[in-house]
Amino acid sequence: MRRIRSSAITAIAIGLLAGSAVGVAAQDEVAAPVEVTGTAVEGACPGGPSQVDGYVDKTRGYVCRSTWSMSDLRLDGEFTRAWNLDWYLDGTEMNFGYATGRLETDGGSWLQRPGLRAGMPGEPDLWEDAELLVFDGEDAFQGLLAVLFSVSREDGVEVDPARLHGYIIEDEYPPSGHLAE
């Protein structure tokens, strides 16, 4: 009799532990990514300071604004973006730098992670045709990421307004602390 009780108690304990593990796993489930589409209409570009240093035009804080109309209202709003670029005036037409911005919506805001920009003769510009935009949600959107492609040119023809396509994800951006040294 004692053996049956011990086995029964062990079985019940294992069942409770398994049930608890399933409950914890269910609590950790992340919502499925939400697909979003829309357009971006370029607005004012008040510019920013530029200084020529030798044969390099160093543009800093060049600002442009655009209006986003999106399928998900969480990304529907005004996008203000600034970038820092170095333009080579030595005949190579090479340029490189980065851009970052903020999307303000009625429900909250999104901060764009710095995106690399580069261009050189004979190679595609990293922003002329399609650009990857990654945003961290702020305010009501804390804990969300928005990962989007902005397409502004196809086959050398400008797409106006630019097309946006991507996903809103309930997640954190992967850390960079474990990159190869």
| CA-closest candidate to residue 159, choices 23, 49, 39 | 39
Phi and psi for 10 in degrees, rounded to 5?
A: -60, -45
164 class by beta-carbon count within 10 Å (0-12 exposed, 13-18 middle, 19+ buried): buried
Residue 74 above 80 pLDDT? yes
Model pTM score: 0.77
Q: What percent of the chain has pLDDT over 90?
A: 55
With tokens 């607005």, the residue in question is 43
Q: What is the mean pLDDT of the chain?
A: 83
Q: What is the DSSP string of 7-63?
A: HHHHHHHHHHHHHHHHHHHHHTPPPPPEEEEEEEEE----B--EEEETTEEEEEEEE
pLDDT of residue 20: 42
Residue 144 above 80 pLDDT? yes
Residue 21 above 50 pLDDT? no
Taking residues 115-122, what's their average pLDDT?
Answer: 85
With tokens 């996903």, the residue in question is 167
Taking residues 109-121, what's their average pLDDT?
Answer: 91
CB-based contact 159:25 (threshold 8 Å): no
Of residues 29 and 81, the one with the higher pLDDT is 81
A 10 A CB-CB count for 53 gives 8
Residue 67 above 60 pLDDT? yes
| CA-closest candidate to residue 86, choices 78, 95, 99, 77 | 95
* Residue 96, CA distances (Å) to 64, 72, 99, 102 in order: 18, 32, 10, 21
Residue 18 above 50 pLDDT? no
Residue 152 above 50 pLDDT? yes
CATH class of 31-170: mainly beta
Strands annotated E in 106-172: 108-112, 115-119, 130-139, 144-154, 157-170
Taking residues 91-118, what's their average pLDDT?
Answer: 93
Which of 73-77, 85-89, 95-99 has maximum average pLDDT? 73-77
Of 13-17, 65-69, 83-87, 161-165, which gets the smallest average pLDDT?
Answer: 13-17
Residue ranges per domain, the chain?
1-30, 31-170
pLDDT of residue 178: 73
